[in-house]
A and B are shown apart, each in its own frame.
Chain A
Amino acid sequence: MTALTRGSVRPNQWLRNLNAKIASIPMILTAVVIFLGGTIWTVVYSFTNSKLLPRLSFVGLDQYERLWAAPRWIISIQNLAVYGFFSLVFSLVIGFVLAALMDQKIRFENTFRTIMLYPFALSFIVTGLVWQWLLNPQFGIQSIVRSLGWTSFSFDPLYDADIVIYGILIAALWQGTGLVMCLMLAGLRGIDEDIWKAARVDGIPMWKTYVLIIIPMMRGVFITTLVIIASGIVKVYDLVVAQTSGGPGIASEVPAKYVYDYMFQAQNLGQGFAASTMMLITVAIIIVPWAYLEFGGGRKRG
């Protein structure tokens, strides 16, 4: 716009870096057509009564009313909230503590880092199966402890409807904290050595340096990590399928599984679309205000 108001003083903004702009057209098209187009299509069809095949016969908010009346959906949302909250808190805390320990110039740091990061190389399905076996009362932790002599020991979270979601959380943390640790470690390494020296000269205790100086300086890293963890939380599906397939009963159902089951098993696309639209709204409610604060409202912060 500035080009227009200032006449021909400067070359047209739109034509600057023309090659780069042409080169990015395919990606822009992909983003607009596939992501945005697909999203809009899904939202529109969530107001229809599409069954096995998409059909444009609108039924207003019926699908949403049914969705929020379904006990399974309510349980899914509750599970997601519990899983999301603890997953966020624990992976950030454990990841940061591990990274801080790793940053003490210890010996064999590379080895430890590999061990910690190793679970991340496994897919959720494999992680889920491994933990399904570990938590199975007949072969897993419970049977090992019992065979050691403590015969009344009982640990079977996957078969107890009240705590099953924590069984899934354990597997998710085991898989995910390694990555968080590496991101945090990279952040810690980016802190200038002089800051540590200055803090030491001033006699500030180490924990205080971390909490009051280092963590605020690592803001960027924390935000990246937060986005990665949060997106992983909302789309959790395969871990649940591999560990419990939603059981016992419907106690460990999650929204993504509801979407899949209703779209494909129940042959009710409309219901599945309504559920996935609700997931989109959940994400938007979290992401949009944050993105606005972070990238919008001026560039005051460096």
Chain B
Amino acid sequence: MKLRSLAGALAATVALPFGLAQATDLEVTHWWTSGGEAAAVAELAKAFDATGNKWVDGAIAGSGGTARPIMISRITGGDPMGATQFNHGRQAEELVQAGLMRDLTDVATRENWKEIVKPSSLLDSCTIEGKIYCAPVNIHSWQWLWLSNAAFKQAGVPVPKNWDEFVAAGPALEKAGIIPLAVGGQPWQAAGAFDVLMVAIAGKDVFEQVFAKKDEEVAAGPEIAKVFKAADDARRLSKGTNVQDWNQATNLVITGKAGGQIMGDWAQGEFQVAGQKAGVDYTCLPGLGVNEVISTGGDAFYFPLLEDEEKSKAQEVLASTLLNPKTQVAFNLKKGSLPVRSDVDLATANDCMKKGLEILAKGNVIQGTDQLLSADSQKQKEDLFSEFFANASMTPEDAQKRFAEIIAAAD
């Protein structure tokens, strides 16, 4: 008995190569199923298996919108998994308040997360009433425009350096039979693209006034009207995309069938899997080349409260493995995201990731909308923008009016 608890305590603090006598299975659910994502999650599994435990992969296909209800109903329904991915922020807020999630403050203080996690807003999003409930694993930023160099070459125009040039190049691309802007049919993609346009065109302050302070007058004002004007351009350029998933839309850019895509840096993993090189085959423009600001939302792992002691210990091991510098590098390189700690070496990072790291170091960051808005407001926004992007007869003015209403009702 004594030996066993000793071994458990050891395993909790150090990553033993041979580990526990009996490996503990821990089911981990996530929605990382595209090529680049699956390669990245395999790195996490490898690192966790090396501690002598066993990563039981619970991948749920169909992106977060499909996966989250399954995860939540398993936790609330009394069949919790060992650990689960969420976008940290407000998605798991109520689960924590209901006492269903495990408090990780012990692990966090022991490993000094407060010092190592940069920017600190990541850990703040994990903190509810002074306690830490999740382990951030990466920083994902939305504010990127991915461009296919081949597509622009075919159309005979130079690769644009910012959003305005991109819009101007639209007709040339269309003439060459290329869709200028790929926007997948899943509602979150249209809503996300709008948020990106907002930061790029109206700037950081307006973004914060609208989403953090929920100022409806700004949301109805002239700055946001400009953003809706740009969204109207984006809608015109995206006509004919006819695909659903984001990675199918990214694939259109990879194969040169589309000129560009506004998508988060997770798209980078797809370019990498396809064997393309940043700067040569594709170009990335953070902040659409207008306003180089990136959001620092991302993914985090939450740990449901379990009764099984062995598993609870394995949860601690997993939490510390996730923030281990080696795991951070291996995982983030494959995923195309940025590490949550600034003290790791990313010498092998490609051009685009380096651009991201630079912006991060300069502190040009904003919080992601998942951190600022509740799932309910996000869904209303998705409804609005999926309608806006699909329905050419909806005027930007009408859409802005509805947008301001959503912001006014947001909590």
Contacts and interface: CB of A to CB of B under 8 A. Distances in A.
Interface of A: 51-53, 66, 70-72, 137-138, 159, 161, 245-251, 261-262, 264-268, 271
Give the residue among B65, B383, B390 with the most A Cβ atoms within 10 A: B383
B390 A161 contact: yes
Interface string B224-249: 00000000000000000010100000
A249 B388 CA distance: 7
B69 A264 contact: yes
Nearest to B94: A52
Contacts of B16: none
A247 B183 CA distance: 13
Contacts of B388: 249
B350 interface: no
B194 to A, nearest CB: 14
Interface of B: 65, 68-69, 72-73, 76, 91, 93-95, 98, 185-187, 242, 244, 374-376, 378-380, 383, 386-391, 402, 409
Contacts of B187: 246
Nearest to A271: B376
Given A52-B94, A245-B244, A261-B379, A250 B72 contact: no
Contacts of A138: 242
Contacts of A66: 409
B97 to A, nearest CB: 8
23 contacts: A51-B94, A52-B95, A70-B383, A71-B387, A71-B402, A72-B387, A245-B185, A245-B244, A247-B386, A247-B390, A249-B388, A249-B390, A250-B390, A251-B387, A251-B390, A261-B379, A262-B376, A264-B69, A264-B72, A265-B65, A265-B68, A267-B374, A267-B376
Nearest to A262: B379
Nearest 5 interchain pairs by C-beta: A249-B390, A264-B69, A266-B379, A248-B390, A52-B94
Contacts of A248: 185, 390-391
A206 to B, nearest CB: 48
Given A52-B94, A245-B186, A247-B185, A266 B387 contact: no
A249 B379 contact: no
Given A71-B387, A247-B185, A249-B390, 14 more contacts: A52-B76, A53-B94, A70-B380, A161-B390, A245-B186, A247-B390, A248-B390, A248-B391, A249-B386, A249-B391, A250-B383, A264-B68, A264-B73, A265-B379
A249 B386 CA distance: 4
A53 B76 contact: yes
Contacts of A250: 383, 386-387, 390
B304 to A, nearest CB: 14
A177 B145 CA distance: 48
Contact of A267 (B94, B186, B244, B387): B94
B6 to A, nearest CB: 39
A66 B405 CA distance: 11
Contact of A159 (B73, B242, B378, B402): B242
Contacts of A246: 187, 386
A53 B75 CA distance: 11
A281 to B, nearest CB: 23
Nearest to B100: A53
Contacts of B402: 71
Contacts of A70: 380, 383
